[in-house]
Amino acid sequence: MRFPWSAPGKDTGWSWQSNRGLVAIPIAFIVVITVADVLAPQEVHLGPLLVVAPALTASFGSSRLTALIGILATAALFTIAAVRNSITTSNHESQLASLIVISAFTVFFCRLRERHSAELRQVRSVAEAAQRVVLQPLPPRIGPLSVAFRYEAAADQARIGGDLYAAVRTRHGTRLLIGDVRGKGLTAVDDADLLLGAFRSAAHRELPLRALQSELEAVVSWGLARPSRQGPDAAESFITAALIDVPDREAHISVLNSGHPAPLRLHDGRVSTLSPRQYAPPIGVLQPRVSCAEPDVFAFEPGDTLLLYTDGVTEARDGDGRFYPLADRLPLLVDGEVRPVDLLGVLREDLLHYTAGSLGDDAAMVAVRHDLPGDFPAPEPERAPARCKVAEHRRPPA
């Protein structure tokens, strides 16, 4: 499985090495203009067109390459004037001054673009590093569940989001969490870390889902009220999430949905949307320890697959601006029973094909299959708590 993070390379995408073929275009343009101007009548002046060469180079090349093309264009203008015996004319002097000034401005703005790109790569690198720490990989096996996950980063480097997922094993089942933080960048990653930490510390206590959601609400509300989070966007911060309780040996699951896209259940090749009777508000918008929705119970039989996802999947668009119809396309991608890792593999390929390989937002997907009872070991019987023996203290013989 491919994890979507990689360390940024040194190639900025604007270097000589990555654009060798394009460099020939401004060079050829300089040669053509020079030859045409030399062969043209005296009253025809094509030299001013040489300014196009550095401007064109700036669209794909580095500032150094742009400066080099500007120097070549200036040398070509000198060549034209020398052949025409017009070096000292006012017309040539004005052309030369214009070419030098415009080339200098082009190089300057090209350099500003490079600095901005470097800063953006650095911010993305830091956010990705934080994201790797926050989003711990899910194990392929959790009790009776086969699990797979994928995280597809947005095409836009500035849109690292707060998509999150987690799984916690309890004595009688598994607790799952899928969520999406409002906002982008390090602030979103920080909010995701806050929620994930609260979930991992509380889910194993097997609180009812409503009580667990209240615990998460209290922690997130405290985090959003910190002095470091005060600002114009603090009041609008929230996290959509879905909490799922999957018992080991029962054919149902409980779902408490706090404004998150509804999970999908795949059963015998058919897809059903597990829409709640009433959505709970997103986490972070209510007072701490307040919950106003009850969990919904849905069938989840052995052999069924549960698909959790964030809105980066369903809000992905094709070239005509149409959203990705996940519930409609999923049955077309699955033929019989399929492993979760294979399901997410074909789903990812179809999603990238639908969007022409470019996602507008981060997309997280988690697939969970309920294996047959014979496919997983029975739980160990609960043992009586161990008792410590206190050694008898004997006085040494006199």
Q: Please write the tens of the pLDDT for every residue from 306-355.
A: 999 999 999 999 989 899 999 999 998 887 778 999 999 999 999 999 99
Q: Please write the tens of the pLDDT for every residue from 121-151.
A: 887 777 667 667 778 889 999 999 999 999 8
- Inform me whether the pLDDT recorded for 213 exceeds 60: yes
For residue 127, the surrounding DSSP H or E stretch is: helix 90-134
Beta-strand relationship, 173-184 and 239-247? antiparallel
Average pLDDT, the chain: 82
CATH topology of domain 135-375: Phosphatase 2c; domain 1 (3.60.40)
pLDDT of residue 222: 85
Q: How confident is the model at residue 289 (pLDDT cuts 50, 70, 90)?
A: low
- Inform me whether the pLDDT recorded for 5 exceeds 50: no
- Inform me whether the pLDDT recorded for 359 exceeds 80: yes
Distance from C-alpha of 373 to C-alpha of 265, rounded to nearest angstrom: 19
Torsion of CA 9, 10, 16, 17, to 10 degrees: -50
Q: Taking a C-beta distance cutoff of 8 angstroms, is the pair 213, 258 a contact?
A: yes
Distance from C-alpha of 248 to C-alpha of 262, rounded to nearest angstrom: 22
pLDDT of residue 233: 59
pLDDT of residue 216: 92
For residue 243, which of 166, 134, 315, 150 has the smallest C-alpha distance? 166
What number of CA atoms fall less than 13 Å from residue 302's CA on the CB side? 11
Q: Taking a C-beta distance cutoff of 8 angstroms, is the pair 274, 298 a contact?
A: yes
pLDDT of residue 13: 43
- Inform me whether the pLDDT recorded for 262 exceeds 80: yes
Q: Taking a C-beta distance cutoff of 8 angstroms, is the pair 267, 301 a contact?
A: yes
pLDDT of residue 234: 58
Beta-carbon contacts of 175 under 8 Å, excluding residues fewer than 6 positions away, are 167, 168, 199, 203, 204, 212, 243, 244, 245, 246
Phi/psi for 245 (5° steps) reads -110, 120
- Inform me whether the pLDDT recorded for 398 exceeds 90: no
Instruction: Using a pLDDT cut of 70, give the percent of the chain over it.
Output: 81
pLDDT of residue 381: 43
Instruction: Using a pLDDT cut of 90, give the percent of the chain over it.
Output: 48
Sign of CA dihedral 98, 104, 110, 115: negative
Query: How many CB atoms are closer than 10 A to CB 10?
Result: 6
Tell me which residue has tokens 């849905």: 298
Q: How confident is the model at residue 40 (pLDDT cuts 50, 70, 90)?
A: confident
Q: Taking a C-beta distance cutoff of 8 angstroms, is the pair 306, 367 a contact?
A: yes
Report domain extents, the chain: 17-125, 135-375
Instruction: Select the more confidently predicted residue: 30 or 7.
Output: 30
pTM value? 0.67
Bridge-partner residues for 33, per DSSP? none
Instruction: Select the more confidently predicted residue: 44 or 159.
Output: 44
Q: Interior CA angle at 135 toward 133 and 138, to 5°?
A: 120
Distance from C-alpha of 168 to C-alpha of 209, rounded to nearest angstrom: 13
- Inform me whether the pLDDT recorded for 3 exceeds 70: no
Tokens of 229: 């989070």
Report CA 207 to chain centroid distance, whole Å.
Answer: 31
Q: How confident is the model at residue 73 (pLDDT cuts 50, 70, 90)?
A: very high
Q: Taking a C-beta distance cutoff of 8 angstroms, is the pair 96, 77 a contact?
A: yes
Distance from C-alpha of 243 to C-alpha of 258, rounded to nearest angstrom: 8
pLDDT of residue 2: 34
- Rank 45-54, 92-101, 168-177 by mean pLDDT and report only the highest: 168-177
In this prediction, residues 240-244 reach a mean pLDDT of 96
Q: Please write the tens of the pLDDT for every residue from 181-198.
A: 987 767 788 888 899 999
- Inform me whether the pLDDT recorded for 108 exceeds 90: yes
Number of H helices, E strands in the chain: 9, 11
